[in-house]
């Protein structure tokens, strides 16, 4: 059988990337998900449920329990009851549980990736190649620490778990953030109550199934779903430690709530990172770095390179390249393997982005957006550049948490440092130059916890991550990420 | 007995390397532990505190940018200068009611020496190169947090203060310290030692005055990055931590160890006010 | 003459002239934009994962054929071998006359007359390597004579090599002068300059060599001779395309890019086309500005086309081997 092939007559190539959607068949969703407490999914005492949707279609995917203070208390009790069991395990055995989780995540990676993109709106390319593999790698990395803790902090005797950790995570990297929180806590011998973000609970609940499959002792990991009130209840609950990733605003509220309680606290908060391009930079790779820095995960990244500082001699060249590159970004179906920019995570977030972009236009910055068709349903925002931005504009100061880049210029190294550091945040920074000594000089002077030189938005379980100033305190990842989950004889009060 | 009249020392604040009186013109009386009048001491105001923070911020780039070797040498120099004035410190500790003033002074001097030695070792102990899964060189270094406020313990007026100061500044932080309210004179003498020990002006600023009056201003100051609350009275601690939330200050309380005990000195007292900075760079030809 | 191919006639384009002088060669090299290896390789790898629509795929596979320089560069090449290859070049799939012919055949100088005769009027061009291929280290006058000779023999396109000895030795002006002399010797034939990226040691060098060759008037810059262990790679090709993009911005001149060596599977050819599309844009997706030098690739592309037409996977026995 031969099909007739229509041969394009025009000179313009019919070059289209396939809509190559990942099949969602791999994901089997229940209609309803209860709270994961004591190793079981249980009905919420609150009696309340809320829908969780796909931001790319606005379709409801499932209903999820809303935990109230009584539910949170039940989860904390379960974690408290499990604590002696978990810490009494031989560390090598504890390690093996965490290894099991890592392996099971790898085994079910595609399912997790599809669900992450469905529930959160991020491109499958990213959930498949970044979020899920990194989440598994985190468990794998920290698993190995469980029976080696005494080697981690020289001169400190008898590392012990802190106890019960309350962990509150954001919606931008739902499973990965769960891994960042759970892996070190479990390896160090803590038990936990995890609260996923309101809009993206599903992969955490799938992770709960993985915990069951790994035969993790009941109560070691508990997962309570809900919104801000559930998080507040967890902060106020009798836990020994709070670990929070989210906005600086909420971070400050948590800090105030825990004041005087003696609860240990780590905060990983917002950012407004400078990505600094010098005139001698490898420009084409810098373009990729800038694009990746701000459009990765729709810009829903606390360490996003949202302020581009360009040395004046290459401003025109770089801007031209950026605009060209922006035209090639594919915005659309998160489940399409060719999609570069997916859906905005929620209507609320979309409105916030729209409001800030409007302020940029009103304050006189020049906006540039590529022509691209956006789907009719769902939450979408065009990749956006602003030029003519000054440090005083809101779009240069406030975290937009969306696909919006503010471009500023500078003349000298000192000016770049001054502008980069001129923010209450201090999470990350980028430097693009071929001059090694300048990289080290800049890396030293930038007040940021992560400095990417000639690259951006790289993450690894062995690499500590966390901020200076109002971007929070404490580190996640690496040996440094263990410290918040351990206590020592004679240690700090 | 001679007719010569003693020249008394005026106990003043230490801000930006200078010894001003409080801008408020206030002072308060300090007595021995037995209640005998000892001296009038400047009572710092919130405006003095503000000036001290400005001084500490101004010198932060230079002090944090100095080589670790130089910072170590300067801390050691502080020990040398204290040794030379130990009689004065012993007298002041005796007035403050110390059971064994000589022991307190010795321990304080030794503490400077101990922390001086950490300056160029800390990064080797708590830094790391991280074997990331990709073609990148990745390393983590401790860096100073910035301007750190210190509320020195009310007792142990010398060793308590030195035990808080030395770990804060050895890594490159600058500081505004509130001295023991009851026994501020050893702190004032320490300021005079610091002023002559090559410690750059503004690296350490010492305020005497009313702890309860000054702490809220220090805790809420938006240009202070960290706060050592060891000397904050328990009843003020919650409010202090709440105020510190406003700019996400790192808050630290020293271990509940006897300050003479070896456990009271630790590199982890230094890292309480350091930030881990991680740097990535591709490895490619 | 073996028949008229479906290949679109290559548009007649004036050969390019140098845009610089030898005295500027060192500056051209020094000012070439730096390249970060890890970033470049990462971008190339990311683009390699793009999948294209089925309709586009047929078009892309046919484009791969239309952009192909069907190549044989063996010491054992004979008149018979070249005649067979020319037939294949004009009509790659005898059972499907609608399949287009390739852009050119590429061969050694001595065999140029055979191909010229075979391909006259077919629309398939004759390309010859020349200028002391593959090392380019013979006497300059002999190399130039060889270039002029194949041009006189009727070659439409001439693939020469960059003098890596001069280039890597920092003698940029001399390397540049050689290219300009080759440009002159080639007359009206199109000049493709082979950088032999696998010998240059870094992407910075690939980018510098690209800029130098383009400034010297190359119509095409080409990755490899196919004679060393490192052939065309996606990052090398991407690096050269980025250079061509910058050169176009700077001079408004479109220079073609040819990947050669090691491209055997149709999947690879699609990956290179994705690079072209994403880096240089649709304007470059023509045999005038993009070529793939290959031999065994053609049958693999035909096999894929067959699969697109029939929905079945095919096998090598169903395609002619020449």
pLDDT digits (tens, 9 = 90+) for B160-189: 999 999 999 999 999 999 999 999 999 999
Measure CB to CB from residue B125 to each of A154, A260, A443 and give the nearest one.
A154
Q: What local confidence, expressed as pLDDT, does residue A23 receive?
A: 80
Rounded to a whole number of angstroms, the distance between the first and last alpha carbons of chain C is 17
Scanning B27-181, the segments in alpha helix (DSSP H) are: 46-65, 68-84, 86-95, 101-118, 122-126, 159-170
Q: Tell me if A155 and B255 make a contact (CB, 8 A cut-off).
A: no
Q: Tell me if A281 and C58 make a contact (CB, 8 A cut-off).
A: no
Q: Tell me if C36 and A285 make a contact (CB, 8 A cut-off).
A: yes
- Number of C-alpha atoms within 13 angstroms, CB side, residue C93? 21
Q: Tell me if C60 and A17 make a contact (CB, 8 A cut-off).
A: no
Measure CB to CB from residue C201 to each of B136, B284, B285 and give the nearest one.
B285
Residues found in chain B: 285
Q: Tell me if B255 and A469 make a contact (CB, 8 A cut-off).
A: no
Average pLDDT, chain A: 94
Q: Which residues contact A52 (CB under 8 A, 6 or more apart)?
A: A60, A61, A62, A63, A64, A119, A199, A200, A201, A202
Per CB-CB distance under 8 Å, the chain C contacts of A7 are 59, 62, 98
Which residues 257-286 on chain A approach chain B with CB closer than 8 angstroms? 258-261, 267, 269
Instruction: Evaluate if residue A7 carries a pLDDT over 50.
Output: no
Confidence of residue B262 (pLDDT cuts 50, 70, 90): confident
Mean pLDDT of C197-214: 97
Question: CB-based contact (8 Å) between B282 and chain C?
Answer: yes
Distance CA A346, CA C96 (A): 52
Strand intervals (E) in chain C = 68-71, 104-107, 125-129, 157-161, 190-194, 220-222, 256-260, 290-294
Distance CA C20, CA C211 (A): 11
Q: Tell me if B283 and C38 make a contact (CB, 8 A cut-off).
A: yes
Q: Tell me if A15 and C58 make a contact (CB, 8 A cut-off).
A: no
Q: Left if phi > 0, otherwise alpha if psi is -120 to 50, otherwise beta: which for B246?
A: alpha
**Which is nearest to C133 in space by CA: C163, C157, C103, C155?**
C163
Instruction: Evaluate if residue C131 carries a pLDDT over 60.
Output: yes
Q: Tell me if C34 and A282 make a contact (CB, 8 A cut-off).
A: yes
Per-residue tokens: A425: 């945040």
A268 catalytic? Reply is: yes
Instruction: Evaluate if residue B109 carries a pLDDT over 60.
Output: yes
**Which is nearest to A335 in space by CA: A166, A119, A142?**
A119
Confidence of residue A2 (pLDDT cuts 50, 70, 90): very low
Distance CA C127, CA C116 (A): 9
Q: What local confidence, expressed as pLDDT, does residue A388 receive?
A: 96
Note the pLDDT tens digit of each residue in B65-80: 999 999 999 999 999 9
Q: Which residues contact A440 (CB under 8 A, 6 or more apart)?
A: none
Q: What local confidence, expressed as pLDDT, does residue A9 receive?
A: 40
- DSSP letter for B257, please: S
Q: Tell me if C50 and A328 make a contact (CB, 8 A cut-off).
A: no
Confidence of residue C11 (pLDDT cuts 50, 70, 90): low
Catalytic residue among A22, A116, A268, A470: A268
Average pLDDT, chain C: 94
Chain C nearest CA to A368, separation (Å): 20
Q: Tell me if B237 and A260 make a contact (CB, 8 A cut-off).
A: yes
Instruction: Evaluate if residue C235 carries a pLDDT over 90.
Output: yes
Distance CA C226, CA B111 (A): 70
Instruction: Evaluate if residue A344 carries a pLDDT over 90.
Output: yes
CB A238 within 8 A of CB A261: no
Q: What local confidence, expressed as pLDDT, does residue B3 receive?
A: 85
Nearest chain A Cα to B272, which residue? A492
Instruction: Evaluate if residue C55 carries a pLDDT over 80.
Output: no
What Rg, from alpha-carbon coordinates, does chain A have?
23
Note the pLDDT tens digit of each residue in A372-405: 889 999 999 999 999 999 999 999 999 999 999 9
Instruction: Evaluate if residue A13 carries a pLDDT over 70.
Output: no
CB A321 within 8 A of CB A289: no
Q: What local confidence, expressed as pLDDT, does residue A5 receive?
A: 37
Question: CB-based contact (8 Å) between A255 and chain B?
Answer: yes
Distance CA B285, CA C245 (A): 22
C192 catalytic? Reply is: no
Measure CB to CB from residue A267 to each of B145, B248, B252 and give the nearest one.
B248
Note the pLDDT tens digit of each residue in A227-282: 999 999 999 999 999 999 999 999 999 999 999 999 999 999 999 999 999 999 99
Q: What local confidence, expressed as pLDDT, does residue A11 receive?
A: 43
Q: Which residue has the tokens 């990983």?
A: A268
Per CB-CB distance under 8 Å, the chain C contacts of B134 are 38
Mean pLDDT of A135-156: 96
Distance CA B215, CA A427 (A): 28
Measure CB to CB from residue C285 to each of A13, A19, A317 and give the nearest one.
A13
Question: CB-based contact (8 Å) between B127 and chain A?
Answer: no
Per CB-CB distance under 8 Å, the chain A contacts of C285 are 13, 15
Which residues 7-66 on chain B approach chain A with CB closer than 8 angstroms? 65
Measure CB to CB from residue A452 to each of B238, B269, B280 and give the nearest one.
B280
Chain C nearest CA to B281, separation (Å): 10
Furthest C-alpha separation in chain A: 81
Which residues 190-249 on chain C approach chain B with CB closer than 8 angstroms? 201-203
Q: What local confidence, expressed as pLDDT, does residue C7 receive?
A: 44
Per CB-CB distance under 8 Å, the chain B contacts of A473 are 248, 250
Nearest chain C Cα to B283, which residue? C38
Share of chain C above pLDDT 90, in %: 87
Instruction: Evaluate if residue C10 carries a pLDDT over 70.
Output: no
Burial of B4 (0-12, 13-18, 19+ CB in 10 A): exposed
Least confident of A210-214, A218-222, A489-493, C65-69: A489-493
**Global ipTM:** 0.95
Per CB-CB distance under 8 Å, the chain C contacts of B135 are 38
For helices C140-152 and C172-185, what crossing angle results, to 10°? 30
SS (H, E, C) chain A: CCCCCCCCCCCCCCCCECCCECCCCCCCCCCEECEEECCEEECCCCCCEEEEECCCCCCEEEEEECCCHHHHHHHHHHHHHHHHHHHHCCHHHHHHHHHHHHHHHHHCHHHHHHHHHHHHCCCHHHHHHHHHHHHHHHHHHHHCCCCCHHHCCCCCCCCEECCEEEEECCCCCHHHHHHHHHHHHHHCCCEEEEECCCCCCHHHHHHHHHHHHCCCCCCCEEECCCCHHHHHHHHHCCCCEEEEECCHHHHHHHHHHHCCCCCEEEEECCCCCEEEECCCCCHHHHHHHHHHHHHHHHHCCCCCCCEEEEEHHHHHHHHHHHHHHHHCCCECCCCECCCCECCCCCHHHHHHHHHHHHHHHHCCCEEECCCCCCCCCCCCCCCEEEECCCCCCHHHHCCCCCCEEEEEEECCHHHHHHHHHCCCCCCEEEEECCCHHHHHHHHHHCCCCEEEECCCCCCCCCCCECCCHHHEECCECCHHHCHHHEECCCCCC
CB C164 within 8 A of CB C179: no
Distance CA A136, CA A168 (A): 19
Mean pLDDT of A294-304: 97
Share of chain C above pLDDT 70, in %: 96
Other CB atoms within a 10 A radius of the CB of residue B155 amount to 15
Measure CB to CB from residue B282 to each of C38, C201, C202 and give the nearest one.
C38
């Amino acid at each position: 059988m031969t099909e007739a092939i229509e041969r394009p007559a025009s000179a313009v190539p019919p070059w289209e990337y396939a809509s190559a959607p990942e099949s969602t068949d791999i994901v089997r969703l229940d209609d309803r998900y209860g709270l994961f407490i004591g190793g079981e999914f249980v009905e919420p005492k609150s009696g309340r449920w809320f829908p969780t949707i796909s931001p790319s279609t606005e379709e409801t995917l499932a209903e999820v329990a809303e935990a109230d203070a009584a539910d949170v208390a039940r989860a904390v009790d379960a974690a408290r009851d499990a604590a002696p069991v978990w810490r009494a395990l031989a560390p090598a055995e504890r390690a093996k549980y965490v290894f099991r989780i890592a392996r099971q995540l790898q085994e079910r990676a595609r399912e997790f990736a599809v669900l992450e993109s469905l529930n959160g709106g991020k491109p499958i390319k990213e959930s498949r190649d970044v979020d899920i593999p990194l989440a598994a790698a985190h468990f794998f990395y920290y698993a190995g620490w469980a029976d080696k803790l005494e080697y981690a902090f020289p001169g400190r005797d008898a590392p012990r778990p802190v106890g019960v950790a309350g962990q509150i995570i954001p919606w931008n990297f739902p499973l990965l953030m769960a891994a960042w929180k759970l892996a070190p806590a479990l390896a160090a011998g803590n038990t936990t109550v995890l609260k996923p973000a309101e809009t993206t609970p599903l992969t955490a609940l799938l992770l709960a199934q993985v915990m069951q499959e790994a035969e993790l002792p009941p109560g070691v990991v508990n997962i309570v779903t809900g919104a801000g009130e559930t998080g507040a209840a967890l902060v106020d609950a009798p836990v020994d430690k709070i670990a929070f990733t989210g906005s600086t605003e909420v971070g400050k509220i948590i800090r105030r709530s825990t004041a005087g309680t003696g609860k240990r606290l780590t905060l990983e908060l917002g950012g407004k990172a400078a990505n600094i391009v010098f005139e001698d930079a490898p420009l084409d790779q810098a373009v990729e770095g800038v694009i990746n820095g701000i459009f990765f995960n729709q810009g829903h990244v606390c360490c996003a390179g949202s302020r581009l500082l360009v040395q004046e001699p290459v401003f025109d060249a770089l801007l031209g390249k950026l605009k060209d590159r922006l035209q090639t970004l594919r915005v659309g179906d998160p489940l399409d393997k060719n999609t570069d920019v997916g859906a905005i995570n929620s209507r609320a977030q979309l409105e916030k982005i729209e409001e800030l972009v409007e302020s940029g236009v009103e304050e006189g910055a020049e906006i540039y957006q590529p022509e691209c068709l956006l789907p009719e349903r769902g939450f979408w925002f065009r990749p956006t550049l602003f030029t003519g931005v000054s440090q005083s504009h809101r779009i240069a100061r406030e975290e937009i948490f969306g696909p919006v880049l503010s471009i500023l210029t500078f003349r000298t190294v000192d000016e770049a440092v001054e502008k980069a550091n001129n923010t209450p945040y201090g999470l990350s920074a980028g430097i693009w130059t071929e001059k090694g000594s300048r990289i080290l000089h800049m890396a030293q002077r930038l007040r940021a916890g992560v400095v990417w030189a000639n690259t951006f938005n790289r993450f690894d379980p062995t690499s500590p991550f966390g901020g200076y100033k109002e971007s929070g305190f404490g580190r996640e990842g690496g040996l440094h990420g263990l410290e918040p989950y351990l206590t020592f004889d004679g240690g700090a009060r | 007995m001679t007719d010569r009249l003693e020249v008394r020392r005026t106990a003043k604040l230490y801000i930006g390397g200078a010894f001003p009186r409080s801008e408020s013109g206030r002072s308060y009386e300090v007595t021995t532990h037995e209640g005998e009048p000892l001296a009038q001491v400047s009572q710092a105001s919130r405006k003095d505190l503000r000036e001290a923070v400005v001084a500490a911020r101004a010198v932060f780039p230079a002090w944090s940018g100095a080589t670790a070797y130089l910072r170590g040498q300067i801390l050691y120099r502080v020990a040398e200068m204290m040794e030379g004035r130990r009689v004065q410190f012993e007298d002041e500790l005796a007035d403050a009611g110390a059971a064994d003033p000589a022991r307190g002074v010795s321990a304080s001097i030794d503490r400077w020496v101990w922390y001086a030695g950490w300056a160029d070792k800390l990064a080797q102990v708590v830094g790391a190169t991280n074997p990331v899964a990709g073609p990148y060189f990745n390393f983590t270094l401790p860096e100073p947090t910035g301007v750190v406020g210190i509320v020195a313990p009310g007792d142990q007026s010398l060793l308590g203060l030195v035990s808080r100061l030395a770990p804060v500044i050895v890594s490159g932080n600058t500081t505004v310290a509130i001295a023991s309210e009851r026994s501020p004179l050893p702190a004032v003498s320490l300021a005079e030692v610091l002023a002559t020990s090559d410690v750059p002006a503004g690296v350490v600023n010492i305020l005497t005055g009313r702890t309860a009056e000054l702490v809220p201003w220090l805790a809420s100051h938006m240009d202070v990055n960290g706060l050592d609350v060891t000397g904050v009275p328990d009843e003020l601690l919650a409010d202090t931590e709440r105020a510190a939330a406003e700019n996400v200050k790192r808050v630290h309380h020293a271990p509940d160890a006897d300050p003479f005990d070896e456990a009271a000195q630790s590199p982890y007292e230094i890292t309480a006010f350091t930030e881990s900075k991680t740097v990535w760079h591709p490895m490619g030809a | 003459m073996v028949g008229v191919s479906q290949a679109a006639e290559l548009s007649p384009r004036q050969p390019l002239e140098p845009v610089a002088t030898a005295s500027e060669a060192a500056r051209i090299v020094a000012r070439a934009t730096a390249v970060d290896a890890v970033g470049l390789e990462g971008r190339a790898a990311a683009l390699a994962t793009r999948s294209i629509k089925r309709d586009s795929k047929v078009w892309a596979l046919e484009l791969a054929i239309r952009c192909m320089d069907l190549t044989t560069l063996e010491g054992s090449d004979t008149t018979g071998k070249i005649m067979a290859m020319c037939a294949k070049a004009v009509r790659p799939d005898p059972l499907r006359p609608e399949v287009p012919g390739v852009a050119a055949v590429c061969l050694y100088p001595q065999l140029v007359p055979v191909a010229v005769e075979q391909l006259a009027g077919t629309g398939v061009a004759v390309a010859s390597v020349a200028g002391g291929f593959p090392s380019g280290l013979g006497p300059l006058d002999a190399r130039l004579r060889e270039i002029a000779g194949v041009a006189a023999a009727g070659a439409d396109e001439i693939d020469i090599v960059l003098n890596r000895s001069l280039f890597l030795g920092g003698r940029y002006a001399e390397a540049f002068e050689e290219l300009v002399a080759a440009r002159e010797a080639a007359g009206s034939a199109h000049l493709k300059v082979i950088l032999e990226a696998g010998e240059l040691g870094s992407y910075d060098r690939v980018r510098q060599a690209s800029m130098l060759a383009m400034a010297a008037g190359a119509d095409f810059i080409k990755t490899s001779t196919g004679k060393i262990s490192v052939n065309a790679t996606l990052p090398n090709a991407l690096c050269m395309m980025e250079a061509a993009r910058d050169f176009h911005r700077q001079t408004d001149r479109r220079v073609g890019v040819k990947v050669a060596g090691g491209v055997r599977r149709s999947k690879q050819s699609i990956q290179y086309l994705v690079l072209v599309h994403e880096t240089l844009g649709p304007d470059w997706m023509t045999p005038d500005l993009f070529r793939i030098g290959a031999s065994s690739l053609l049958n693999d592309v035909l096999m894929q086309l067959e699969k697109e037409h029939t929905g079945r996977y095919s096998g090598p026995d169903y395609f002619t081997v020449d």
